[in-house]
Structure formats: C-alpha cells, structure tokens
A and B are shown apart, each in its own frame.
Chain A
Amino acid sequence: MSIRVVVERCIGCKLCVEACPFGAITVTKRLAQIDMAKCNLCGACVSACKEFKAIELNHEETQTTDKSKHRGIWVFAEQRDGKIAKVTFELLSKGKELAHEIAEPLCAILLGDQIAKAARDLICFGADKVYLAQSPQLKVFLEDTYTEVISGLIKEHRPNIVLFGATAIGRSLAPRVASRLKTGLTADCTGLEIDPESKDLLQRRPVFGGNLMATILCPNHRPQMATVRPKVFKMAQHDELRVGKIIKYDYKQQSLTQRAELLAVVREVTEAANLAQADIIVSAGRCLGDAKNFKIIEELARVLGGAVGASRAAVDAGWVPYSHQVGQTGKTVRPKLYIACGIRGAIQHLVGMQYSEIIVAINKDQKAPIFNMADYGIVGDVLEVVPALTKEIKSIRAEEERSPVVSGIEETFLVC
C-alpha cells in the first residue's frame, strides 16, 4: 500500500489539505506533500482531488476471498437468561432490508440452553432461518465458548454479512470472532447500506468524537462484520404467522476450552439501563449553571414519567453521574421525546440523541447548534421555562384525574 502525489498533476490548490482529517498534508511551492508519520492512508485527499487526480492511493490487494461463495445476512441473537436483547430485533429489521436488496436470506444465530421458544420469536421478527446451538455450557455468555461456536458456524455456512449489537457482549465477542476468521469488523455503526454497484456493505460510523462520519468497506474479505449500537435502527413488527426454519447446530462440548468460568452474576437495573429504555428523556447541559438546578430537570422528568439525561459537560462538572450521559462516549438513546435543556448541542452529544422521534430544545442562545437538531425550539431561560412546563403538565394531570372522561375535553383545555 502506498500513497503519492503525482507531481505533474498537482497545482497546489490545497483542497487536499482541507480534506485531510489528520493534518498530514502541507503545500509548499505549489506542491502537496504528505507527512507519512501523520498519514493514515484514509483516502480522503484522493476523493478531494477527484478533478486533478494528483494523489494516488495504491491498494495492493493480495488476500482475496471468493465472494460468490458467501451468502446470507446473519444476526447474532444476544440473550441473557433466555431473554433476547432488543438490539437483536432491531438488527433483524435492518438485516431484512439489506437481505431484500441483495436477494439473500436473513438468518439468526442463537446460543443458549433450552431456548427453542426464543428461536421462534426470531422468525416472527424477520429471520428466515435460525441456527440454534443449545447446551448447558452455552447458557451463559463466555467469550471462548461463544467464539468457538459462532466461528464454527460461519466457517461452515459462509455468510456474507454478520451483525452484532454493540453491547457488552457484542463488543467483546465480535472482535474475537473477526480476529479468528481474519476478516474485517466495523465498530458501533450508525448506518448500513448496500453499495449499488459492488453490492458490498457500506458501514457508516462516527469517528473523532463524532466530529466526522466515516464510511467503511470490507471489500475483499468475508464475512463483512459490524457491530451496531442499540436504538440506532427501529424494531420491525412481530409477525405471528411468519414461517422460517430452525436448524439445530450439533454442539461438540469437548472442542471448547475451559479457560474461563462465570462465578457470580449480580443483576441490578441501573440508571443507565433505565435511560436507554426510556420513552421520554429530559436532559440537561452546562447552561443549567449549577448542580442544584438539576432538581427542576428531575421534576420535569418525573411528571412526564421519563428519565434524566445529561451532556458530557454536565457530567464532567460533577452534577450527575456518568450513567446519565448521552452522546458519543455515553449512551445512544432513541426516546419518543427528548427535551434538551440548556444543552448547546456539541456534535458529541447530537450523535447520541439524533434518532429521538421528537426533539425539543430550550436554550438562552438562539444560535446554539442544538436548534439545528431539534423539532421545536424555545429561546429562553431554562430556569424559567422548565418549571413553567412542569407546572402546566402537573395541572393537566390533576385535571385528568378529576375528570378522567373524554380526551376531547383535555384537548380544548390545552388549546385555550
């Protein structure tokens, strides 16, 4: 692999300098020069120089897989205590779309103990086939055993694409599987598409703290593997009548190593888990000014029956624990309603909440970037607007309790 500037074509226009995310290019005497110590060979400059074709990136592809032998989109069905993680259904829904586009089957891989019933659910949510491996040894997730079974299945059936949730399990398991299969893996994708020409999987993910989006390909290796954050894709409808095949995988216990053992499990519903599942989130940022003002945020969240979120600035200031943080280095959330109070809208925050159905922004500064990401904006002081909002909702709720009759009446009340 190598990158070079074609001296006779370069006009020193600096388009490449602007395009380089690594600051590796300088132009001296109307000629671009690439600092190889900084260059990451990402090719951003090559795209920027389309017109002049003055930068060439040579991929010498050596190891190539016969792509035609790989078929099907697989989703790793994550389960704990026999309960399938929601992200699995989200992946099945996206997988279905992709499978349709390339006319290949959608399959799920399910590992566990006595979980045949859950396998049926995977079909109802879109899987055409479920590879089911059952054994007491697979009841709980351990990297070694799961890697062995999944790698074995992949080697045998040669899928084209394999998707995992970017969860504690997925983020630990997928890299181990990809490393064993010597194939590519893209972490934390927020977008998956099929390239219309090559039919390869275009994987989009935020990089550099969400400042930039990278599109990543795995052109010559199969399967193409990716992890996807929960709540990025929408779950499909459960279809009672869907038919599919359950294929039992012949699990060979002796082939598994015994290097790891699960000694104890402590289950606790954390605030982080509450946040990830909440339908309504009221979130606050630095513009709140003080830790004690968080009370008004908690109060609004409480009357709405929602959870409390925070920007990194609020967490770094020590106003709320990290488990409340929404954003690139916190949680990705997808509530029906996200109310951003005093959050300016740094890109790192936006990548964590951009999939919310309705976003309301309340901020003093009408130029705050959050308004470019919101559906409804209120320019005003959070300390005034939020308590007013809370009070109004409380009085509506009180009204509802007094006359729990027709919804039309409440509506009139609101409109007046």
Chain B
Amino acid sequence: MNIIVCVKQVPDTLEVNVNEDTNTLIREGVDGVINPFDLYAIEEGLRLREQYGGIVTALSMGPGQAIATLREALSIGVDNAVLLTDVLFAGADTLATSYALAKGVEKIGHFDLVICGRQAIDGDTAQVGPALAERLGVPHVSCVIRVCEVTDGCIITERMTEEGTEQIKLSLPALITLPKGINEPRFPSLKGKIGAIRSEIAVWGAQSIAADASKIGLKGSPTRVIKISTPEHHRQAEMLEGTVAEQVTALLSKLRQAEIL
C-alpha cells in the first residue's frame, strides 16, 4: 500500500504571545514544529504500513526551513520525504496549496491513500485535505476517528459527526483527514534520528512538478487577506463588590432582572 502523508510546518503557537504595546505576535524564539494533527496522520500511515505493507512518503509545502519537519517525519519512521519549495508558492491560500500538493502527489506517482491532519493549527481551515482530494479526483472522508480496515481495494473508516459516528467505505485511491487523539503518535527512535540525518529529501520547485504558474502562490489564490487586526472586545464588567454573600445576592438579582433565573 502506497501512502502519502501531508505535513505542514507551523509555528509552535503555544508559545505565541501578543505584544500588548504593538498588538502583534511575539515570534522571536518560536520554533517551527510539525503541525500536531499531522503527527496522528504519520502514525496512522505507519500503522497501516505495518499491517498491510507498502511505503509511506511524507509530503510538505513550505519555505526551505520546513525541511526540518520532514527530517522529523523521517526520524519517526516514514520511508521517503518530499519538500515543495519555491518563492512562487508564497502567499498560497487553500486552493493554490491544494493544487501544488496535487502536482507533488502526481510526481511522486502511484498512491493508494493520502492522509492529512484535519487542520493546521496556524490557519485552522481544515480545507486543504478535501480540496486536495478533489484535485486528485479521489473520494475523501474528513475527520476520520478510526480506520477499520483496508480490504478489496476499499478502506472502511469511521467519521465523527455532531450526532455520533458514521461508518463509510471508500474505494481506493482515497484521501482521509484525521483529528487529534485517534492514535498515540510514536516518538522518533535514536536509530530513526540517525537514519533521518542520512536520508535524502527530495526538494522540488514549481518547475519540477510542472505547476502552472497562474495556479500557485498568491497568483493562484482567489482569496486575499486585506487586513489583520487584534480582536475587539466591547464588554466592561460591572464589578460586584462586598462579601461573598453580598456578591452572590447582587449577581442573582442581576440575573433575575435579565430573566435568566
């Protein structure tokens, strides 16, 4: 089974703070890490390989430093890694990203399954997976919480919905996206880390994947971010003073006025 896992390098947003004077993100010293969702995607790929055999290839698009993310994927255990990097890819929205990734997948060649993390924690769109499936012309299921089995050229999955779960069978090749927590991602082994240093990572530009320049990067992106601002919060609390008993009484009277109690 040939599996391609899409990974993205994201800033370690847990460490991101806003500078209150300038209202901008403080990004000094913030390292790039593998998008946490993608760790589950890698783990699922490795488990499927262990069960059904085959090759797992990690694919990423990003600036040159994203190669560190692919090294990490290799040290965890993927067989091959490919980085799509080119200044022409910069400013891509989800449509342009899915196009470039699809061209990358095409160049990798035959695949049975593409696995993506459901979303990247920086953009939080959850759009690239489904959009990539459409570009590749394969069926997809989003938010898969369990891969039940692969059989007869089909994959049986369980997806999470607001009202429970659904079991869905897809014919291969197909694409699935995974939320966090569906498995326990393994850590890189020492052997894996050493192997990762020696492994070669394919680095492909726009030309080498034969990408149409009008469909990649900002040029290929229908959406434009026209403004970035800090969120506004309008409320200013009326402070309820006094002893605990007085505070409680005051609050209950307010809630009564608002007809909530």
Contact = CB atoms under 8 A, between A and B. Distances in A.
Interface of A: 1, 18-23, 36-44, 47, 59-60, 62-63, 80, 85, 142-144, 147, 167-169, 171-176, 178-180, 182-188, 206-221, 257, 259-270, 272-273, 276, 280, 322, 328-329, 336-337, 347, 350-351, 354, 357-361, 366, 371-380, 384-385, 388-389, 392-393, 396, 410-411, 414-415
Given A168-B143, A380-B244, A268 B164 contact: yes
A149 to B, nearest CB: 15
7 contacts: A18-B24, A175-B126, A213-B229, A263-B169, A322-B181, A337-B260, A371-B237
A359 B228 contact: no
A372 B95 contact: no
Given A176-B140, A393-B252, A414-B249, A268 B163 contact: yes
Does more than half of chain B's interface fall in helix, strand or loop, or is it mixed?
mixed
B119 to A, nearest CB: 8
A44 B238 contact: no
A212 B230 contact: yes
B228 A328 contact: no
Contact of A375 (B161, B235, B244): B235
A207 B165 CA distance: 29
Contact of A167 (B140, B162, B170, B238): B162
Does more than half of chain A's interface fall in helix, strand or loop, or is it mixed?
mixed
A243 B164 CA distance: 35
A415 B256 CA distance: 10
Nearest to A169: B161
B197 interface: no
A174 to B, nearest CB: 8
Contacts of A414: 249, 252-253, 256
B139 interface: yes
A213 B13 contact: no
A18 B25 contact: no
A314 B121 CA distance: 19
B225 A216 contact: yes
A23 B125 contact: no
A212 B87 CA distance: 25
Contacts of A144: 139
B73 interface: no
B163 A354 contact: no
Contacts of A267: 163-164
A262 to B, nearest CB: 6
Contact of B131 (A47, A176, A215): A176
Contact of A378 (B28, B161, B170, B247): B247
B107 interface: no
Interface in B203-220: 214, 217-219
A318 to B, nearest CB: 13
Contacts of A273: 162-163
A354 B160 CA distance: 26
B95 A212 contact: no
Q: Which of A85, A209, A273, A384 has the most CB of B within 10 A?
A: A209
B228 A44 contact: yes
A59 B217 CA distance: 11
B127 interface: yes
Given A206-B231, A212-B228, A376-B237, A41 B218 contact: yes
B248 A263 contact: no
Interface string B133-175: 1110011111100000000000010011111111111110010
Interface in B70-86: none
A81 B132 CA distance: 29
A322 B181 CA distance: 10
B63 interface: yes
Contact of A264 (B127, B133, B167): B167
Nearest to B231: A213
Given A172-B142, A188-B124, A265-B167, 16 more contacts: A18-B24, A23-B28, A44-B227, A63-B214, A168-B161, A175-B126, A178-B95, A184-B223, A187-B127, A206-B124, A264-B166, A266-B166, A328-B124, A374-B237, A388-B248, A389-B248
Contacts of A37: 63-65
A185 B142 contact: no
Contacts of B127: 171, 174-175, 178, 185, 187
Given A80-B163, A358-B260, A396-B252, A220 B222 contact: yes
B25 A208 contact: yes
Given A259-B170, A359-B235, A216 B226 contact: yes
B249 A176 contact: no
Contacts of B198: none
